[in-house]
Amino acid sequence: MNQLSGIDYVIFIIYFLIVAGYGIWVYRRDRLASKDTQDFFLAKGSLTWWAIGASLIASNISAEQFIGMSGEGYFVGIAIAAYEWVAAIALIIMAVWFMPIYLKNKIYTMPQFLKTRYNESVALIMAVFWLFLYVFVNLTSILYLGAIAINGMLGGEYLHVIMICLALFALIITLGGMEVIGYTDVIQVGVLIIGGLATTYLALTIVSERFGLGSDAIAGFNVLMKDAPEHFHMILDKPTAESSPLEVQRYLIVPGIAMYFAGQWIVNLNYWGCNQYITQRALGADLNTARTGILFAGLLKLLMPVIVMLPGIAAFVLYKNGHLPQLEGGSKDGAYSAILGFLPNGLKGLSIAALTAAIVASLAGKANSISTIFTLDIYKKYFNTGADEGKLVWVGRLTVIFAMVIAMFFTWGDILGIGGEGGFTFIQKYTGFISPGVFAMFILGMFWKRTTATAAMAGIITGFVLSVFFNNYAPAVMGNENILFTAFLNADGNYEIPFLICMGWSFVFTMIVMIGLSMFGPKENPKAFVLEKGMFSVPPATMVLIVITVMIIAALYIKFW
């Protein structure tokens, strides 16, 4: 049944016209079609700190969070917020220590970093890795989860039409280049936050009303904490023999305090600091602008669990008390859509606009990164070294279209099984196969001058092989309990190690292999970066932003430990 009214469609159309119209205005104002590759792919020098920060959040928050993280909020609770709050710390690390190295060495793509620090072979292998990851994991999951969510509001009969519309909307923005993406993302993140907060407020109000406490969002939040106290612990206890299967399944997703010594940091530092999709927004700016934008994104990150996670917990409490029968036997990924069904006319349209903003901004950002890597790191180097700037821009645009078509093909019938895996888990798990090796290669390449190209190549292979081993074979080979890990019986009846623990050990052993191999090389690799005294110092205003962010995170953990 279609849950949208005429006013919902009007609000959504206004949103579409504002974003598309503003994007066209930015495009015509700067005549991006006549500019070079740095303008098209990086918006070099034209994005302000607030545009960089907004674009980082708009590109990051997508169906993965709205649908996937809301679903994990429904299933696990507030512990899933670790992905957002640790990300704020990762953004501080990126701003203070990573960006000076990138900007000083004029790094514009992540494969270029690897070529500059290591060699051409390492750069090419990782360029291909990233292209496959961005197309077959990120683009597909964003498109599929987004279409599923919006389709639920429209009666469940328009899945493929919605996929096409989302892809086309993203193409309109992406083909204008990074400057259009960056400035339209300011609108997108505004719609995302306003619509998301409105949805959360109404969700809490609905809980309050269903429990006879009137229309009071604060009372609704207190009901959640009282009725589902197990959903308000950041650190989950390690399961014992007496633990229920449900407690085990939750721990497999967020394995308590152990994940803070393992994969949680690798996930976030790799995503925010070594990821073309993210770093690209800041690589065209000066250091102060880039840092301020990144730290602004970190502050916005603290707000995201309120928008994407609390509606999931509200859905759990409503379902538990018989107010959401449509979730019976359904996927946790249906939690957010179920909450949207409660919203009044008009607000549904705003919430759908917020969800669409998140999906389209992420699709556009990811497509632009795919285009950048293919055009600058593969096409220009291996297919047409003499291509002029205009041709490279057009190759970039054609790559965007081709990537979106491939994503459409694989999401059309959910060939990759995204729906069965659970959206958030699908992305985190499969990204995690390469994260340990990639992060080890970057962190050693930045800060240890002895790291060699041979070690980097070994790191790529070792990280991937160990990730596959720990995720799929370690319990059978090493037993279910040992000094490294504890495997638990999952919902399929197989023993499984929490994938964040798998990622942590894969990273540790990859670092050992890389360090060991590098010891056979020169004491200082000739391609090592020069780290000058003072390049990591920050001005007082920047330090204030950092302190505020850290204090808020500390308060949140103290409250919900």
- What does the H/E/C string look like for 489-555? ECCCCCEECCHHHHHHHHHHHHHHHHHHHHCCCCCCCCCCCCCCCCCCCCCHHHHHHHHHHHHHHHH
Start-to-end CA distance of the chain, whole Å, equals: 41
Residue 12's domain comprises 6-431+531-560
- Digitized pLDDT (tens) for each residue of the chain, 561 residues in all: 556 778 888 888 888 888 878 777 777 766 544 456 666 666 666 678 888 888 888 878 776 677 778 888 888 989 999 989 999 999 999 999 999 999 999 888 888 999 999 999 989 988 998 898 888 888 888 888 788 778 776 777 778 888 888 888 888 878 777 677 777 777 878 887 888 888 899 899 999 998 888 888 899 999 999 998 999 999 998 888 888 888 888 898 888 898 898 888 998 999 899 988 788 778 878 899 999 999 999 999 999 898 889 998 999 998 888 887 777 766 676 788 788 777 787 777 887 887 788 788 888 888 888 988 898 889 988 888 888 878 888 888 899 999 999 988 888 877 766 665 555 566 666 777 888 999 999 999 999 999 999 999 999 999 999 999 998 899 999 999 999 999 998 877 889 999 889 999 999 999 999 999 999 988 888 899 988 888 899 999 899 999 999 999 999 999 998
Token code pair at residue 87: 């990300």
Residue 293 in any domain: the answer is yes
CA–CA separation, 178 and 53 (whole Å) = 14
Question: Do the bridges between strand 488-489 and strand 495-496 make them parallel or antiparallel, or are there none, so unpaired?
Answer: antiparallel
Query: Is 403 contained in some domain?
Result: yes
Q: Tell me, what CATH number does 553's domain have?
A: 1.20.1730.10
Q: Who contacts 53 (Cβ-Cβ below 8 Å, separation ≥6)?
A: 292, 293, 294, 295, 296, 297, 300
What is the C-alpha separation between 448 and 459, in angstroms, rounded?
15
Q: Say if 525 falls within a structural domain.
A: no
User: Exposure of 359 by Cβ count < 10 A (0-12 exposed, 13-18 middle, 19+ buried)?
Assistant: buried
- Domain assignment present for 507: no
Q: What are phi and psi of 486, to 5 degrees?
A: -125, 125
Whether residue 516 is contained in a domain is answered as no
Q: Is residue 231 part of a domain?
A: yes
Q: What is the pLDDT of residue 354?
A: 78
Pick from 506, 514, 419: nearest CA to 471: 506
Angle, helices 389-412/140-153, rounded to nearest 10 degrees: 60
Q: Tell me the three-class secondary structure of 339-384, residue by residue.
A: HHCCCCCCHHHHHHHHHHHHHHHHHHHHHHHHHHHHHHHHHHHHHC
Half-sphere exposure of 191 (CA within 13 A, CB side): 30
Quote the CA–CA distance of 272 and 60 in Å, as a whole number: 10
Q: Which residue's structure tokens are 């023993």?
A: 495
Q: d(Cα 244, Cα 76) in Å, to the nearest integer?
A: 14
Per residue, the 3-state secondary structure of 170-226, as one string, reads HHHHHCCCHHHHHHHHHHHHHHHHHHHHHHHHHHHHHHHHHCCCCCCHHHHHHHHHH
450 in any annotated domain: no
Bridge partners (DSSP) of residue 518 are none
Measure Cα distances from 440 to 109, 135, 269, 476, 501 in Å. Answer: 18, 23, 11, 27, 16
Name the helix (H) or strand (E) containing 556: helix 540-560
Three-state secondary-structure class, residue 414: coil
Residue at 342 is within a domain = yes
User: CA torsion 199→54→56→406, rounded to 10°?
Assistant: 70
- The secondary element (H helix, E strand) that includes residue 488 is strand 488-489
- Predicted TM-score of the model (pTM): 0.88
Distance of alpha carbon 379 from alpha carbon 374, whole angstroms:
6
Number of domains comprising the chain: 1
Phi, psi of 417 (to 5 degrees): 70, 35
The span from the CA of 157 to the CA of 255, in Å, is 38
Sign of the alpha-carbon dihedral angle for 215, 553, 424, 322? negative
221 CB-near residues (< 8 Å, 6+ apart) = 204, 310
